[in-house]
Structure 1
Amino acid sequence: MGSSCSSTTSAVVVKTARVAPTTKRPPVTEEPKPEILERGGQHGTTPKTKDTGKDDVSIASIQSQVSHLDRTQDTSTSADTLVQYEKRPQDGVHVQQNNRWSSISGANSQDSIESLCKPENSDRTSTPKNTRTHVKETGSQTKKLRLSDQSKAIQNEGSKNNTIEAKKPNSTTASTTQLSRPADRGSFDKSVDKLNGDSAVDIEAIQNSRAFQNQATGSCEKLDKEKPNMKEIKMSANNTGMKSDEETGTDDKKGINSVPSKMVEQPEITRRLKKTELIPDLSVFKELDDYAKQTPEHAESSMRSLVDYLIRPTKSPLERIRVLFMWMATHVKYDVSGYVTGTTYGDSSPEAVFRTRTAVCQGYADLFTELCRLADIPCKTISGKAKGINYVVGAKFREASNHAWNAVQINGFWYLLDCTWAAGHSDISSKTFVFSYTEHYFLTDPELLVADHLPLDDSWQLLEDPVSVEMFESWVLLKPAFFDLGLRMSDLSHSKARVPTKSGSATIKLSLHEPMSFVVHFKSFDGKKKPTEIKNCVLHEIVDMEARFRVVPPTEGKFRLTIFAKKGTSSGSHEFLLEYLIQCKIPKATSAPFPSRNGRTIWGPGHFLLDGVISGTSHPEAIVDVPEGDVKIQFEFESRMHFMCHFGEDSRWNEYVFTEPEDACATFYLRCPEPGMHSLTIWAKEDIGSTDGSYHKHCSYIIRCKKSKPKCLPYPKTFKTWTSGCKVFRPQNGHLASNRAVLFRVRWPKVVDVAVVADGKWSHLVQGSDDCWEGNATTGARGTSLHVVGKRDPNVNSYEWLLDYKVI
């Protein structure tokens, strides 16, 4: 885990006289945060030496202050570490030995830095990151004793002498931490005040030096031995395990901006942020993503050169993580062949994966960890269970671990990601891998990732209430599209994967937050044979912004219910949403409970309402019960509409549906010629003042008729002239007895004459005061047709057909 030192600043450690045994505590990995020390509202600077231009801090001054502080401390209190910083020449690291400055050559600088990072009397080996400042830590580090206690004593002593009023700094930790740049480090070096005399102690300088030392010490911990402590995870980025300022009464934290001369107050990060809080707009990554995708070959000669190239345009740890993640997801393909055949995957080390650009999950995760190490990003490889491509919904895991992914640290908090699943998908049948980036697996919120990722170590779930293996196995299979569409498990009526039927059926419900459309597949599944599609066993409808899926298995057994979805109701591709395992012990008597619709499963007027085709309906649910053989369905709408109906299989019963359109509503009269379940499809188009246009919108009802009328007669046939305002009062049956005198009464707006034509005889009707036309006519001979006709222009002797009757 060691890394070469490329910084321009080194730290010289001056130890106090007392040394207590060290006590190990769980490490918290944080990136060192340089600070600006202010006094009197101005930035202090240190005079430069003539020979090297280095900022130099008086060792004697610090030692004298330490001895002064020792008088204020209890004798049982262990000593703190004081840190002295100076600019390092490019050829080595300056250290002080026997009050003399010497330079260690570049070849041995790494060993020297590692020795500085190892506390005395400790067997722990610490490896620093590629940070620009390294420190040595001495003295006791017990859980009950904190550096902030000594800082408090310093403040109290300073208050008594009235030499300095310590100012409370503002934390500048933001959701995206700025990259440490040479200019920033230089500003920090220049801001360290040179202590003057023995009477005045720069309290802020000591406090901030210790705060920075504590942060740098945290970065010297080995990540491989680190596990997240849930209490520490909730702490802010500036907290490294010590007591908070509120507990100790100290305020020793100051931050640094990219512009040192102008401090900008920002809220302190005291919790792990949601992804939408950390990244409100993903479009900010567009240029960075393109940069990673288009990485030239010459930049990929080594992992070091690749990282240097990728992080060049970045300005924060978040951007560094993003650009490394995007490179991984677009350049490393999954080893499908090795996965399918079960053969040994070979060398999956970071070096081998980087060379071959092919890996399974472990290789992905380990390479990403290595790239993060080179980019100074705390990163861990996590192993556990995952519901991958071969996962069977409702099944139990036979192995302890079958997948690997990563955790990265930002602002002191851990975030989860999966390079493997973000890269694309595998085609098992052809043993090929298809690159297809999935945003869901970048910094996924823990409560979402746990739906299909369960780490071996519960602490890496990053949840206050960890999920058990049994609970994880019992959950419904949820895919990234489920969360991308704004859905959550609480929106489901069934969170468990196994759904038993009751009385031969089961209904899954899903609450919607916006209009969506669905495609459903229902397949038999016995674990042995290949699943086969079963039609007409699922009724899907949308009622009051709730998607419902009623399943009626045809036989006893197990079945897969797979649901795909997309935003909106327009045409387009649907994405894999979720999957259930339906268990049926006692099936219903009927083998095909729902009418055939050529594989379509959406029923009811739900999408009509979502699309705004209609604004209301008398029957919002898909199934319409017809206990006495006839029913009336009404639609309300904002603009004028034309409707056309198809009733029964192959539209053979169209004449048993009659539509009466009005300006703001339409009424559909329906008669059932036979008992049973029949489909009614209503097509719609907007009335644009002409007969042009197609009926492209439609909804379908299931008419469930228990008993039909003894003599069920059809309605009269209508034509294109049958528009808003038209209505027939008598006769309403489409079949008329032959040679009978019949009273006709109809309403037909905007016509000047209406007549009944039967056997070539014209019987003109009389217009009443209510725009209705009324009169008697003889039906004519059997087997003929009777027509109701009218004309609109009194100067043109041309009539249009309105209604058609059959004479029997």
Structure 2
Amino acid sequence: SFVPPGQQVCKEPCKQPQAVTPYSSKGPQVTVEIHPKDSPPQLFKKLSFGKGSRTTEAPRPPGGKDLHAYPWDRSSLKSLPVDLQQLEKLDAYALKVDVKSSVEELVRALLKQARSDLEKVRAIWMWICHHIEYDVVGYHNKSQLANRPLDVLQAGKGICEGYAGLFEHMCSLAGIQCMKLFGYSKGNGYRTGQTFTGDSDHAWNAVYLDGRWHLLDSTWGSGSVDDSFTKFTFRYNEFYFLTHPALFINNHFPDNSNWQLLKPALTLKDFENNLLRNSNFYTLGLLAAHPQTAVIQTVNGKASVSVDCRPATLFTFKLRGTAQQGLLTLKRQGMQLDVYPQKTASHKLQI
């Protein structure tokens, strides 16, 4: 598995120190639970802002009620009901917060308008997605890369591990259980049918809300880079906030299969073979595509594809740049497409 830079491997059993509570004073009290740097991931450092102390349970590993059925049941794009209209005022407030002196001060400012744990996570999410840009220079030159939370905050940029690390640290300060996850992704540069080997290529987060773990990706929520990884464009994407795990798995495969939050869990071969459906597929109201695989073999010279959708939708297609080699049938809730390649070869189908 991938080990984040700077993380040490514990070779001997580690003794966990007791929580340390500062002596009484007139100002706010803070209870800090301190663990060794090489502690297992379910142990966290927590800070509680405000008067008095706050006890936060150690996060439990995912399982049981965290799991969602696969394939997607078409119920919701998110794993937790979220009323976006009720969050509009909080979103607007978070976007205007301008604090870069310290991560602690930033979290303190954001939490002024956040009441529930969901609102705390939302405020942190919105701030990061609109204030941290993808570091295209650092991506090519790792010596110039900011990865520590304070460095990412003050530079205003980072790559996926920087986004995920800052998000995890801010949630920790807000008293929210959060994990930084690593794995493979079908992102910029992905090729249809690609296999994945070696170290992880992406990082994202899981947060614990309402008694369950939920997934999000603030890197992909913030915007996109061009094909050459030389230019980043802020383009907020709501889809990657508390995404339903059966949809998140389309382009995120964690090192630890438990963090798929799926039952049954997919294998890496399933992930490699499955058709890539990005966020636009679902935000357009499309529901499913058949077959599920990215590579389709013709049978007697014909390959068939179908797409299900909620609203009436107009489809067009191109096979090797032309629409002359197929029959497209529009239906009330989707379409059926039969294509007839004129020669034996690998053909790219665009719908």
Q: TM tier, shorter chain?
A: 0.7 to 0.9
Alignment of 1:277-296 (within 5 A): 278-296=80-98
1:200-219 correspondence to structure 2 within 5 Å: 216=55, 219=57
1:465 aligned to 246, 264, 275, which one?
Answer: 264
1:542 pairs, out of 319, 322, 330, with 330
CA distance in 2: counterparts of 1:317 and 1:292, whole angstroms: 15
Q: Which amino acid aligns with 1:289?
A: D
CA distance in 1, matches of 2:33, 2:333: 62
Alpha-carbon separation, structure 1, partners of 2:43 and 2:244: 31
- 2: CA distance, partners of 1:327 / 1:318: 14
1:326 matched residue in structure 2: 126
The code of the aligned residue for 1:324 comes to: I
Q: Is the 8 A contact 2:103 2:149 kept in 1?
A: no
- Matched to 1:510, the amino acid is V
Residue number among 268, 279, 282 corresponding to 1:480 in the alignment = 279
2:64 to 211, 231, 254: 231
Higher relative contact order by CA 8 Å / sep ≥ 6: 1 or 2? 2
Post-superposition shift, 1:554?
Answer: 3.1
Distance 1:554 1:126, change over 3 A: closer
SS in 1 for 2:335: strand
| Residue in 1 that maps onto 2:306 | 509
Distance 2:186 2:259 in 1: 17
Once the two structures are TM-superposed, the CA of residue 555 in structure 1 deviates from its matched residue by 2.6
Alpha carbons of 1:480 and 1:431: their partners in 2 closer, same or farther (altered >3 Å)? Answer: same
Residue 93 of structure 2 aligns to a residue whose secondary structure is helix
**Residue in structure 2 matching 1:492, options 263, 266, 289:** 289
Cα distance in 1 between the residues matched to 2:43 and 2:194: 43
| 1:384 aligned counterpart, secondary structure | strand
Question: Is the partner of 1:517 in helix, strand or coil?
Answer: coil
Shift of 1:561: 1.6
Query: Aligned runs of 1:48-67 on 2, under 5 Å?
Result: none
1:90: which partner in 2? 25
Separation in structure 2 between the aligned mates of residue 127 and residue 436 of structure 1, nearest angstrom? 32
- Equivalent positions of 1:367-766 (< 5 A) are 367-429=166-228, 431-488=230-287, 491-523=288-320, 533-563=321-351
1:467–1:506 CA distance, 2 compared to 1 (3 A): same
Instruction: Determine if contact 1:345/1:360 at 8 Å carries over to the other structure.
Output: no
**Aligned to 1:346, which of 109, 126, 145?**
145
Write the distance in 2 (CA, Å) between the matches of 1:519 and 1:290. Answer: 38
Structure 1 pair 445/477, CA: closer, same or farther in 2 (3 Å)?
same
**SS, match of residue 176 in structure 2:** coil
**Aligned-pair CA distance for 1:355:** 1.5
- The one-letter amino acid paired with 1:326 is M
Deviation at 1:315, TM superposition (A): 1.1
Is it true that 1:130 corresponds to 2:47 in the alignment?
yes
| 8 Å CA contact 1:230, 1:464 repeated in 2 | no
CA contact (8 A) 1:455 1:461 kept: yes
Partners of 1:328 and 1:419 within 8 A in 2: yes
- Residues 385 and 353 (structure 1 numbering): CA distance in 2 closer, same or farther, change over 3 Å? same
Q: 1-side partners of 2:185 and 2:44: how far apart?
A: 32
* Secondary structure of 1:380's aligned partner: strand
Q: Contact 2:78–2:243 (CA<8 Å) still a contact in 1? A: no
Give the C-alpha shift of residue 538 in structure 1: 3.9
- C-alpha deviation, 1:347, in angstroms: 3.4
- Give CA deviations for 1:674-712 in whole Å, capped at 9, x if unaligned: xxxxxxxxxxxxxxxxxxxxxxxxxxxxxxxxxxxxxxx
Distance 1:343 1:557, change over 3 A: farther
Query: What amino acid sits opposite 2:301 in the alignment?
Result: G
Q: 1:398 to 1:126 in 2, by over 3 A?
A: closer
Counterparts of 1:17-96 in structure 2 under 5 Å?
A: 90-91=25-26
Q: 1:342 to 1:496 in 2, by over 3 A?
A: farther
Specify the code of the residue in structure 1 equivalent to 2:106.
L
Instruction: Tell me how far apart the structure 1 counterparts of residues 144 and 340 of structure 2 sit (CA, whole Å).
Output: 44
Query: Helix, strand or coil for the counterpart of 1:326?
Result: helix
The one-letter code matched in structure 2 to 1:364 is Y
**Residues 457-482 of structure 1, C-alpha deviation per residue, up to 9 Å, x if partnerless?**
01111112111001111100101122
- Match in the other structure for 1:197: none
* Conserved? CA contact 1:336–1:428, under 8 Å: no
Write the distance in 2 (CA, Å) between the matches of 1:114 and 1:351.
20
Letter of the structure 2 residue corresponding to residue 559 of structure 1: H
Residue pairs, 1:307-322, within 5 angstroms: 307-322=107-122
Aligned partner of 2:38 in structure 1 is none
Give how far 1:486 is off: 3.7
Q: Given that residues 337 and 432 in structure 1 are in contact (C-alpha distance below 8 angstroms), is that contact kept between their aligned partners in structure 2?
A: no
Change in 2 beyond 3 A, CA 1:442/1:127: closer
Give the Cα–Cα distance (whole angstroms) in 1 for the partners of residues 78 and 185 of structure 2: 24
Find the counterpart in structure 2 of residue 247 from structure 1. none
Tell whether the 8 Å contact from 2:148 to 2:165 is kept in structure 1 after alignment: yes
Find the residue that maps to 2:87 and give its secondary structure: helix
* CA deviation after TM superposition for structure 1 residue 427, in Å: 1.1
Tell me the matched-pair count: 318
Change (3 A) 1:548 1:397: same
Query: Shift in Å at residue 552 of structure 1?
Result: 2.2
Distance 1:277 1:506, change over 3 A: closer
After TM superposition, give the deviation of residue 361 of structure 1 in Å. 0.7
Higher fraction of strand: 1
What per-residue deviation string (whole Å, max 9, x for no partner) do you get for residues 29-60 of structure 1?
xxxxxxxxxxxxxxxxxxxxxxxxxxxxxxxx
CA drift at 1:231: 3.2
Instruction: Give the secondary-structure state (helix, strand or coil) at the position aligned to 1:416.
Output: strand
The CA distance in 2 between the partners of 1:454 and 1:403, in whole Å, is: 9
RMSD: 3.2
> In structure 2, how many angstroms separate the alpha carbons of the residues matched to 1:396 and 1:430?
21
Deviation at 1:280, TM superposition (A): 4.6
**Using the alignment, how far apart are the partners of 1:294 and 1:476 within structure 2?**
39
Distance of 1:480 and 1:284 partners within structure 2: 23
2:296, 2:125 → 1: CA distance? 38
Confirm or deny: 8 A CA contact 2:225 2:233 kept in the other structure. yes
| Runs (5+) with no aligned partner, structure 1 | 1-23, 25-87, 94-105, 118-124, 133-180, 187-214, 235-272, 524-532, 564-808
Distance in 2 of aligned mates of 1:131 and 1:462:
28
Shift of 1:412: 2.4
8 Å Cα contact 2:114/2:120 also seen in 1: yes
Q: Which amino acid aligns with 2:97?
A: T
Question: Contact conserved, 2:164 with 2:180, CA < 8 A, in 1?
Answer: yes
Amino acid aligned to 2:240: Y
What fraction of aligned residue pairs are identical, expressed as a percent?
Answer: 31
SS at match of 1:518: coil
